[in-house]
Structure 1
């Protein structure tokens, strides 16, 4: 895995959008009305840019998998981040859903416990054409290794119950789950 650059942005967004098109958490944000796929792309653009500014984006050498990692304590309010958030509300979430999303984010923030600095894996994905070939396990092992070297606790959440065995097999454990309009599982390493 290598650090992504802005020249990898389009490919990272393609991988993420394809992998998360049926995800409950993503659907909760983007809704089901017309233009859904475009809103998913805008969400992934937002996440990519946030992680480039306040974390790191990784892409596999073969360009088949990626991960967006956020270091929450590094997030700060800037003109750029304010504009990005406004764009997210207007082009992805919609004004009428802001309160619903803020409530969910409050629940997530309370549930995200860590004993040390966080290594928050916001999104991790494998190109849908190459899933179930060990690429995701390899990427997870690289992320775990990176988090250990940085002395940060790897945390993530998933709404996809069928992915829980994958995460557990890769050394993560579920430490809680919450109802945020759907069941959301919180994992750590």
Structure 2
């Protein structure tokens, strides 16, 4: 496992775009009639920049799996990050849906500790032929959290993923259905 470099942006975006083509939470952000693949790619570019600035983009040694996991209270405001997020919103989210999406994101954030002193496991993507890459990233991130003495928080909208997280020591501490999008979220925590 290694930290991403600026040259890895295309690799990370490609893996994420491929793997999130059927993710309900990601797809619910993109307005009907918009190019879903382009929307996912735009979101992946924003996520890469946000996590890269926080030293939180991890790549497996075979470059077939990526994890976006960072210390939540690391990094501050970035104009470039804000502009990428705004670009995604303008191009791929219907403006009438923006208030409900912002409310959903605020609700999700409020389910985690206010002090921000934890690792946030935002995205994970592994290509079908990734082999042991997923385990490499999991073990590497668990070691980072253990060395720093910090818990890891995440959420998922894919029930199969929830079960996988639980198998690896995460506990589901809340389940919530977004009433506007009818997407279920499971909130999980892994203590050190």
User: Do the structures match in fold with TM over 0.5?
Assistant: yes
| Closer, same or farther: CA 94–77 of 1 in aligned 2, 3 Å | farther
Q: Tell me the matched-pair count.
A: 187
Counterpart residue number, 2:117:
117
Q: Is the 8 A contact 2:155 2:186 kept in 1?
A: yes
Give 3-state SS (helix, strand or coil) of 1:157's partner. strand
Q: Who is 1:39 aligned against? A: 39
Correspondence for 2:140: 142
String of CA shifts for 1:44-95, please: whole Å, max 9, x gaps.
0000000111341000010010111233323422332332232121123242
Deviation of the 1:18 alpha carbon = 1.1
Q: Which position in structure 1 is the counterpart of 2:189?
A: 188
Deviations 1:71-126 (A, max 9, x none): 33234223323322321211232422210111101210121248971100110110
Contact 2:34–2:92 (8 Å) recurs in 1: no
Q: Report matched runs for 1:7-156 at 5 Å.
A: 7-113=7-113, 117-130=117-130, 133-156=131-154
Which has more helix, going by share of residues?
Answer: 1
Runs of 4+ deviating beyond 4 Å? none
With the length of structure 1 as denominator, give the TM-score of the two structures: 0.90
Partner SS state of residue 128, structure 1: coil
103 and 116 in structure 1: CA distance in 2 versus 1, 3 angstrom threshold:
closer
Alpha carbons of 1:4 and 1:63: their partners in 2 closer, same or farther (altered >3 Å)? Answer: same
Q: What's the C-alpha RMSD, in Å, of the aligned pairs?
A: 1.9
| 2:162 aligned with 1:161 | no
Unpaired segments ≥5 residues, structure 2 = none
Are the counterparts in 2 of residues 42 and 91 from structure 1 also a CA contact under 8 Å?
no
Q: Measured at CA, do residues 174 and 114 of structure 1 come closer, stay the same or move farther in structure 2, by a change above 3 Å? A: farther
1:33 Cα deviation after fit: 2.0
